[in-house]
Amino acid sequence: MDSESMMRVVLAGGGHAHLAVLADWARKPLPATRRWLVTSSRFTAYSGMVPGWLAGFYRAEDLTIDLEPLAERAGAELVLADVIGLDAEHRMLALSNGEALAFDLLSLATGGETDTSALAAAGQRLLPVRPMCGFIAQWQGRFAPDLPIQPQEVVVVGGGAAGVELAFAICAVQKGAAARYRVSLVTARERFLAGHDQRVRKLAKRALQERGIAVHFAQAVGAEGGLLLSNGRFLEADCIVAATGSRAPHWLAQSGLACSPEGFVAVGPDMRSLSHSAIFAAGDIIERADRRLERSGVHAVKAGPVLAANLRAALEEGAMRHYLPRRRTLYLLALGDGRAICSWGSFVGMGRWAWRLKDWIDRSFVRRYRDHNIAPE
Ligand SMILES: Cc1cc2nc3c(=O)[nH]c(=O)nc-3n(C[C@H](O)[C@H](O)[C@H](O)COP(=O)(O)OP(=O)(O)OC[C@H]3O[C@@H](n4cnc5c(N)ncnc54)[C@H](O)[C@@H]3O)c2cc1C
């Protein structure tokens, strides 16, 4: 078949949600298609292991997946660029390398952006957790042990699972290090591990206290030299780790796609855009029309195989599958000391066993894609 008559299928974003799609294509080629993977960076970091890397349990290479060999096996051309615009009507993507890419079928999973708008005045002190590979590189630069001046005050902003785990990890990393810094956590009270059983919050609060991590229940605004809190306090900070929630990529606003009021792609249970049937989306970039779905790696990963099946079905005019999340989602919050809190609906536990379980799940996930051992889940 000549390339003119082939369907052009584009995956935008090489993160959690699209890994299963690439694996699906590698296992069973998509017939009569030309395929692209457009993504910012050749490497993708598995977020669940980032706090463990900070705490010294992993090397950076343990949690990164090289997309180049994966794309090659999937028969997809790898384009290292950012999507900066989408014309949903004319099926065209604008890329940061100045090129335009036309598609017949598109899947969007470029994740969310860290919302640092309230913190921007803190300038150079700000360290957003996304993009994750950028966070890893920047952290290594700012906290290199041979730097003459080491940060003294580190503040994590954001009381979700990521923010709390990072606070534990940052506190743990300095064990045995020459430099010592104070760690604090700033979060709105209602956002502190929201959605988890109150016993999870209690255990986490106690563990934070035991490590001397000050918790400030307040809103923070960036300022010269640190943060201004809504309770009137000024918090000095040499480094502000922004683990604030995701916001939708700005380029979606002009795309013509149906979006939620917050600007995320509105999709149905089959991950298909509500307005454009040739566009699918998954992961942190979506808002489900039929239910509230937390933006988490768990859902991005679990939706991946459904997305893969539905992209195939869209080409073959087959039946669509629905991504139905389980009633309870398993979260394992690392405490940075070889223990973790297990939060699974109303089941709550804490200990070394929870960390071992997390370590096993996370390492197995990365190994599957890194070593190209991509058997179906
Ligand atoms: C520190 C941290 C720890 C976390 N821990 C957990 C956890 O333990 N459990 C959990 O369930 N969730 C966790 N999360 C949340 C989880 O990381 C996200 O929900 C998940 O990554 C979303 O997957 P995604 O595929 O939508 O996006 P991502 O995995 O972020 O992938 C996005 C991809 O798109 C690329 N990209 C970005 N912008 C563009 C663009 N404009 N054009 C092209 N490509 C682009 C990126 O390079 C990346 O490859 C954590 C998050 C953080 C920050």
Clarify whether residues 120 and 241 are in a common domain.
yes
pLDDT of residue 143: 75
Cα–Cα distance for residue pair 40/83, rounded to 1 Å? 8
> Distance from the CA of 32 to the center of ligand 1, in angstroms?
30
String of DSSP letters for 88-117: TTTTEEEETTS-EEE-SEEEE----EE--G
Strands 76-80 and 33-39: parallel
Expressed as residue numbers, the domain containing 273 is 3-112+248-327
> Where a domain ends, among 215, 245, 275?
245
- Which 3 state secondary structure label does DSSP give 234? strand
Q: How confident is the model at residue 372 (pLDDT cuts 50, 70, 90)?
A: low
pLDDT of residue 113: 87
Residue 355 lies in a domain: no
Task: Check whether 140 has a pLDDT greater than 90.
Answer: no
Give the atom of ligand 1 at the shortest distance from the alpha carbon of 298: 11
Cβ of 244 closer than 6 Å to ligand 1, yes or no, is no
Mean pLDDT, residues 131-140: 87
In Å, how far are 200, 320, 325, 343, 359 from 347, measured between CA atoms? 9, 33, 18, 6, 19
- The chain-wide mean pLDDT, for the chain, equals 92
Cα–Cα distance for residue pair 339/203, rounded to 1 Å? 12
Q: How confident is the model at residue 216 (pLDDT cuts 50, 70, 90)?
A: very high
Tell which one of 113, 287, 296 to mutate to probe ligand 1, the residue whose CB is within 8 A of the most ligand atoms: 296
pTM of the full structure: 0.93
> Distance from the CA of 227 to the center of ligand 1, in angstroms?
26
pLDDT of residue 327: 84
Clarify whether residues 269 and 225 are in a common domain.
no
CATH (domain of 169): 3.50.50.60
pLDDT tens digits, one per residue of 298-312: 999 999 999 999 999
Helices (H), the chain: 16-27, 50-54, 67-73, 132-142, 161-173, 198-210, 297-316, 352-370
Tell which one of 50, 110, 157 to mutate to probe ligand 1, the residue whose CB is within 8 A of the most ligand atoms: 110
The closest of 229, 192, 216, 193 to 118, measured between CA atoms, is 229
Q: How confident is the model at residue 373 (pLDDT cuts 50, 70, 90)?
A: low
Residue 369 lies in a domain: no
Task: Check whether 375 has a pLDDT greater than 60.
Answer: no
Residue 228 lies in a domain: yes
Cα–Cα distance for residue pair 326/313, rounded to 1 Å? 23
Which residues are CB-contacts of 98 (< 8 A; sequence separation ≥ 6)?
Answer: none
Clarify whether residues 209 and 305 are in a common domain.
no
Q: Which two tokens stand for residue 283?
A: 């992961």
Q: Which two tokens stand for residue 217?
A: 């229940």
Task: Check whether 144 has a pLDDT greater than 90.
Answer: no
Cβ of 130 closer than 6 Å to ligand 1, yes or no, is yes
Clarify whether residues 162 and 266 are in a common domain.
no
Mean pLDDT, residues 223-246: 93
Tally of structural domains, the chain: 2
Supply angle C-alpha 258, 261, 264, rounded to 5: 60
DSSP state of 272: B
In Å, how far are 80, 154, 235, 356 from 182, measured between CA atoms? 38, 6, 12, 28
Q: How confident is the model at residue 294 (pLDDT cuts 50, 70, 90)?
A: confident
Mean pLDDT, residues 63-83: 96
Out of 75-89, 135-149, 214-228, least confident range: 135-149
Cα–Cα distance for residue pair 377/374, rounded to 1 Å? 8
> Distance from the CA of 283 to the center of ligand 1, in angstroms?
8
Cβ of 252 closer than 6 Å to ligand 1, yes or no, is no
Task: Check whether 48 has a pLDDT greater than 60.
Answer: yes
Clarify whether residues 104 and 11 are in a common domain.
yes
Clarify whether residues 119 and 218 are in a common domain.
yes
Cβ of 163 closer than 6 Å to ligand 1, yes or no, is no
- Which 3 state secondary structure label does DSSP give 317? coil
Residue 357 lies in a domain: no
Clarify whether residues 224 and 122 are in a common domain.
yes
> Distance from the CA of 300 to the center of ligand 1, in angstroms?
8
Q: Which residues pair with 215 in a beta bridge?
A: 185
